Amino acid sequence: MTDMAKSLDDLMAEGVAGRRVLVRSDLNVPLDGSTVTDDGRVRASLPVLTKLADAGARLIVMAHLGRPKGTVDPKYSIEPAAARLAELADADVVVASDVVGQDAHEKAEALQDGQILVLENVRFDPRETSKDDAEREEFAAELASLAGENGAYVDDAFGAVHRKHASVYDIARALPGYLGDLVKTEVDVLRKVISDPERPFVVVMGGSKVSDKLAVIDNLIGKADSLLIGGGMVFTFLAAQGHAVGSSLLEKDQIDTVKGYLDRAAEAGTEIVLPVDVVYASEFSKDAEHEVRPVSDIEGGKIGDSGLGLDIGPESAELFARTIAEAKTVFWNGPVGVFEMPAFANGTKTVAQALVDSDAMSVIGGGDSASAVRNLGYRDDQFGHISTGGGASLEYIEGKELPGLVALGA
């Protein structure tokens, strides 16, 4: 944190009883219809909301869910996430049927000390994500008006700080702004990981596309001791080494870039660890016929050479686990296989278990990795830190400036 950034503790010291405080929370949870399938982000938002409510603040929560593209779309309503918040919170939670309309204003003005009002999805208003500064500023001013005189703004949505959106960036110019505890903790942890990790420092990178992680890999070469590559992105690395990858996900236009990374890493002292075997399937299906093949097996087995890789193989999983066991700091972003299908979840589960068994400081970089460990039956407290922001944590690791932090002087 810089000296310019004000924390939640600073706001609490000023006093919040009777004041309306706008809080940008991250309630962007996965849904199955109207059922929240992973409430991790809702739970992560609770401590700050509870802290403020207990101190007598009148809270107005701003949040988004999905990408409704500036139109009111019932399937992206914030209501299921707000309902889960109401179940978990000790405070009284009410929900507005609009964002800055009549219902939002009436309910904001009726708030009592310790109550929480959740506004409808801020992305229902096209100005939230507008590229036009004036449009975003106009929307931010309308949001700020809900707080009335002596209002304040708290950013506790790390998962959105990489967005230059009205409820993240412009609102901090319309009201006195403060860093929420969740955001402060996220930044402190990630800063430690990237700037001063205890070594060996191991990074596990997964996910589907290498192009999504190019800047991260680029920034980690020379900083990480080992980079373990899995997921769909690994096939571009294997192809760069001359291996056949069947019909697996492959970004041919990135092969030369990946070759450059392999050469640079060797010179910089960062070991890039790739799978030695892969689970190939006949099709992308949980019931697909599948087999384990060494990466050097260009002939293919019973699946044939057109199979697609959906997980790292058992030897690779053990290789990853041994590397993690020797680490003192581990950052993990992206599952190493299609963990949603049991036949292709072993690699991701082995990585998760290795982190649980390890004494290393473990940081899971949000998004699919966080959902994976929860869906595989692990608890959050079995890991050192689970980030609430996949994209935000990646951009921070890339070394980018994040607009939500810049707006607060952090």
CA proximity to 363, closest of 337, 390, 345, 336: 390
150 is in an annotated binding site: no
Distances (CA, A) of 303 to 147, 281, 289, 300: 62, 7, 7, 7
Is-contact 78 131, C-beta < 8 A? no
87 labelled as ligand-binding?
Answer: no
**Ramachandran region of residue 75, left (φ > 0), alpha (ψ -120 to 50) or beta?**
alpha
Catalytic residues: 41, 209, 367, 391
The residues that bridge with 273 in the sheet, in sequence order, are 228
Per the annotation, does 66 bind a ligand?
yes
**Structure tokens belonging to residue 68:** 């409704």
Question: Is 41 annotated for ligand binding?
Answer: yes
Beta-strand relationship, 31-32 and 35-36: antiparallel
67 is in an annotated binding site: yes
- Is 213 a known ligand-binding residue? yes
CA distances from 272 to 12, 40, 200, 291, 298 (A): 46, 31, 14, 25, 22
Contacts of 334 (CB under 8 A, 6+ apart): 204, 205, 206, 207, 213, 230, 231, 233, 365, 367, 368, 369
Q: Is 162 annotated as a binding residue?
A: no
Any known ligand binding at 304?
no
> Is 65 annotated as a binding-site member?
yes
Q: 163 a known binding residue?
A: yes
Give the Cα separation of 28 and 390 in Å (integer). Answer: 12
The answer to whether 367 is a known ligand-binding residue is yes
Binding positions for substrate are 26-28, 41, 64-67, 123, 163
Binding positions for ATP are 213, 309, 340, 366-369
Binding positions for (2R)-3-phosphoglycerate are 41, 123, 163
